[in-house]
Amino acid sequence: MRMLSVSETDLQTAASALVAGKLVALPTETVYGLGANAYDPVALARVFEAKCRPTFDPLIVHIADLATLDKIADFSLLASAAASFAHALAARLWPGPLTLILPKKAIIPDLATSGLPTVAVRFPAHPVALWLIALSTGAVAAPSANPFGYISPTDAQHVADTLGDRIDFIVDGGPCEVGVESTVLDLTSPVPTILRPGGMPRECIEAVIGPVSVLTSKPDSESGPVSAAAVSPGLLTSHYAPRAPLELFPYGSLPRERVAEPGIALLFFDGQSRDRFFRGFEGPPESLVSAGRQLEQPISKVLSEEGNPVEAAARLFKILHELDGLKVTGILAERVPAGGLGDAINDRLFKARSAAR
């Protein structure tokens, strides 16, 4: 693997590699993607191989202009209301963290869509991604650039650490601004349906096309995998998991008695919640004394000191990567307030739970 910069020469190198069927990890505004020429079945096969991704889990095709949308999506197979939704969303919310599921044209190999008659299309809002797509073939298939089931990468080093020996190039465009993957919206169902909450809040989609339904992996239940996985295989509940087992609790309810466990880490939404938690230990804390010795303070992380969901989303995967690097033995995390990007954060925390594995 060679790390590339965003210089013109390096971007040319990366674009030529894509044309030649090689694998290039590239920055997008959400997470780093593992890019391959979307029209080249052999390159696509290499993506599945590098990620150890099952071939029943389809890829997102990234475009850099609307002409390509018509080239790969078959609007004649779409109900007219859905077609106008697609055009309105493309006009208002692209480029951005929104992926649309649309009927596919034959030019997209079946491997990209895992044999489904639909294709996932996204127009990313990152200048480097747009350059690379436009300079190469105009359509770049890119799943998140992580081994299947592991946390998505939000900087180039995350990619190098986990996939470095299996891919050709990484283009280092710095940290990703949004930090969680795109929202996946199915426009082929009778009612537009969010298959994966993500960087584009539901409220912004509804402001353009009216009410949508949401297929969730039931963040409020303990029921484990649900049928959502069959509709969009990426909704498998064991996604985005750090190596350390993660347990999820309601906001403000991390269990105080568990801090004595060696190597345990605490993950709070905001500084207020963390302060409330530790205030319980003022004075010589009984529960921090075990077998006659004072335990160290547990490792604690806060997604956003101020409780800003945008910042929390941007930092979520980075913090999970850090905790894995610290080799913690377990992570106790709290849910964040619902709505906006909070829904995407809670979805990823839910999927990272060890109980679902």
Judged by beta carbon, residue 176 or residue 332, the one nearer Mg ion is 176
Position 182 contacts ligand TXA (CB under 6 A): yes
Position 155 contacts ligand TXA (CB under 6 A): no
What distance in Å separates the CA atoms of residue 64 and residue 66, rounded to the nearest whole number? 7
Position 143 contacts ligand TXA (CB under 6 A): yes
333 binds, among ligand TXA, Mg ion, none (CB under 5 to 8 A by kind): none
Position 14 contacts ligand TXA (CB under 6 A): no
Judged by beta carbon, residue 22 or residue 239, the one nearer Mg ion is 239
- The torsion region of residue 347 among left (phi > 0), alpha (psi -120 to 50) and beta comes to alpha
Q: Which H/E stretch holds residue 354?
A: none
139 binds, among ligand TXA, Mg ion, none (CB under 5 to 8 A by kind): none
Judged by beta carbon, residue 37 or residue 273, the one nearer ligand TXA is 37
Judged by beta carbon, residue 114 or residue 308, the one nearer ligand TXA is 114
User: Of 184, 209, 331, 333, which one interacts with ligand TXA (CB under 6 A)?
Assistant: 184
3-state SS, 245-289, equals CEEEECCCCCCHHHHHCCCEEEEECCHHHHHHHHHCCCCCCHHHE
Torsion sign (Cα): 190, 194, 200, 206? positive
What residues numbered 290-309 form the site for ligand TXA, per CB under 6 A?
A: none
Q: How many helices (H) and strands (E) does the chain have?
A: 11, 17
Q: Which residues pair with 302 in a beta bridge?
A: 268
Judged by beta carbon, residue 126 or residue 274, the one nearer ligand TXA is 126
Contacts of 293 (CB under 8 A, 6+ apart): none
What distance in Å separates the CA atoms of residue 122 and residue 98, rounded to the nearest whole number? 6
**Cα distances (angstroms) measured from residue 298 to each of 134, 135, 274:** 48, 48, 12
Position 144 contacts Mg ion (CB under 5 A): yes
Position 312 contacts ligand TXA (CB under 6 A): no
Judged by beta carbon, residue 142 or residue 356, the one nearer ligand TXA is 142
182 binds, among ligand TXA, Mg ion, none (CB under 5 to 8 A by kind): ligand TXA
What distance in Å separates the CA atoms of residue 199 and residue 30, rounded to the nearest whole number? 7
Per CB under 5 A, residues contacting Mg ion are: 144
Per CB under 6 A, residues contacting ligand TXA are: 28, 30-31, 33, 57-60, 97, 99, 101, 113, 116, 118-120, 122, 124, 142-144, 181-182, 184, 195-196, 232-235
